[in-house]
Amino acid sequence: MNFLKKLITYIDVVLLKKYLDNKFWQFENWEITEYRLQYKVEKTDLIKRIHWVADESNLNKDDIHLKHFTDVHSEYIYLYDFPVVLETRFYWLVNLKSSKIIPFSKHNFFDPWGRTDPVPSVLAYLFPRKKYFEKIIINATNYDWFNYYHFFFDVLPTICKLKEIENYQSIKLVVPKEIKNVSYIQEFMGISNLFEGVKILYVEKDSKVYAQQAYNLRMPYMNKAIINQILDSINFQKEEIDVPLNVFITRSLNRSRTLNNITEIEKIAQTFGFAIVDTDGWSLKRQITFFGKVKNVIGLHGAGMSNLMFGKNSIEKVFEIMPGDLNPQFYADLCKEFDFAYLSVHGDSRGRNENFYLNPEAFKSAIQNYF
């Protein structure tokens, strides 16, 4: 049985992907402006947010980075006012009439790093595990529910935006069935009222959702008002715990994108009064309570830094450690929204998700000058 499953998987994922999937599927040749706009698109000042652009005159409207950040920093609600099918392996929307993929039904259609999801499996599309039939849906699988960072800064803002639609209670929010096994999601739903009135359709992988209409929506990236809306939705009795004022958020060596010399760097941080914490495995309630009392944070770039938002009334300074070839501004922008002081230091370049080395003397000097 295991051999047969492996053989079917190989045929589907390797052979059919190469010789059938990539040849069968086509994208609708649409610009996003051709969709029926339900909400005026509001864009932030992109020049200020795209940090490596110094001169607006040098911007190329066809540049993939600009297209990506235009989407990330946009706010919109679009309605696909025609019958669609949502396939539930990669969660592309398909125009039922033309059998072509709707290109902007996934937020990473413009991805500077080439991470656009593969096209749907023809085998799974023709022979779905299950079929669902709904009137109106929202594809809430655009973002990674299984990533702590993306859950808080992509998924939950989507829920906030959903509630702006008139009669949103009649729309089914399509989500992967597997989120029922994700502890921080279930814990959040238990302590927040954000999902009140939202109808959820839990779907199995390799199934199809037929709908007469579908919405696609987005909230602006790292928006203080939206983050506060999420935080204000949380209500639980906080336990009394001892919390150090200065913390170093570490990442264990069995995870990607940590320091090869993490023990050495941690010892330096400790000499400056920083307690070492690893939030992996903590309950959501504990993380909310803990970071609501912290004053200064040093952290390796990763999902654990998402907890900075819980310290909106206590945190003063943030110091982020990143590989030399990685320069995301997620947490820099979060700090800017909440008026935290922010500083970053880069180690050597080791690849996007590989471990890296940080010069101890450079780290020590940065701490001395910053804190």
Per-residue tens of pLDDT for the chain, all 371 residues: 566 656 656 566 556 666 666 777 888 876 544 333 333 333 333 333 333 333 344 445 555 555 555 566 667 777 888 899 999 988 888 999 999 988 767 655 545 445 455 788 888 888 899 999 999 998 876 567 899 998 999 899 989 989 988 899 999 999 999 999 999 999 999 999 999 999 999 999 999 999 999 988 877 778 899 999 999 999 999 888 889 999 999 987 777 778 889 999 999 999 999 999 999 889 999 999 999 999 999 999 888 999 999 999 999 999 999 888 777 788 998 999 999 999 999 888 766 567 889 999 999 999 999 99
One domain, residues 166 and 51: yes
Q: Which amino acid belongs to residue 276?
A: I
Do residue 224 and residue 324 come from a single domain?
no
What is the reported pLDDT for 78?
77
Task: Indicate whether 54 and 165 sit together in one domain.
Answer: yes
For the record, the structure tokens of 356 come out as 């890296």
User: Which of 43, 48, 49 is CA-nearest to residue 329?
Assistant: 49
Q: From CA 290, how far away is CA 307, in angstroms rounded?
A: 9
Q: Is 368 exposed, middle or buried (0-12, 13-18, 19+ CB in 10 A)?
A: exposed
Tell whether 75 and 201 lie within a shared domain.
yes
| Same domain as 133, residue 40 | yes
pLDDT value of position 256: 72
The pLDDT value recorded for residue 67 is: 56
| Domain shared by 39 and 99, yes or no | yes
Q: What CATH number did the domain enclosing 263 receive?
A: 3.40.50
Is residue 13, in this structure, part of any structural domain at all? no
- Is the torsion defined by CA of 205, 209, 122, 18 positive or negative? negative
Domain assignment present for residue 14? The answer is no
Q: Are 184 and 208 part of one and the same domain?
A: yes
pTM: 0.84
State residue 56's pLDDT score. 42
In the prediction, which pLDDT does 43 show? 37
What was the pLDDT predicted at 53?
35
**Residue 84 in contact with residue 94, Cβ under 8 Å?**
yes
Q: Is residue 7 part of a domain?
A: no
pLDDT at 166: 85
Expressed in angstroms, the distance from the first to the final Cα of the chain is 60
286 in a structural domain: yes
Distance between CA atoms of residues 18 and 1, nearest Å: 25
Q: Is residue 344 part of a domain?
A: yes
For residues 93 and 85, the answer to whether their CB atoms sit within 8 Å is yes
Same domain, 52 and 179: yes
Same domain, 27 and 106: yes
DSSP 239: -
Q: Using CA atoms, how far apart are residues 338 and 351, in angstroms rounded to an integer?
A: 31
Domain check: are 64 and 213 in the same one? yes
At residue 184, φ and ψ (nearest 5 deg) are: -70, -30
CA distances 295 to 242, 291, 339, Å, are 13, 8, 13
Distance CA 249, CA 239 (A): 21
Q: What is the tally of structural domains in the chain?
A: 2
Per the structure, the complete domain to which residue 274 belongs is given by: 246-370
Specify if 196 maps to a domain: yes
- Residue 328 located in a structural domain: yes
Identify the three-state secondary structure at position 358: coil
Residue 278 located in a structural domain: yes
What pLDDT score does 313 carry?
Answer: 94
Residue 216 pairs in a beta bridge with 78
**Last residue of a domain, which of 185, 208, 232?**
232
Evaluate whether 276 touches 300 at the Cβ level (below 8 Å).
Answer: no
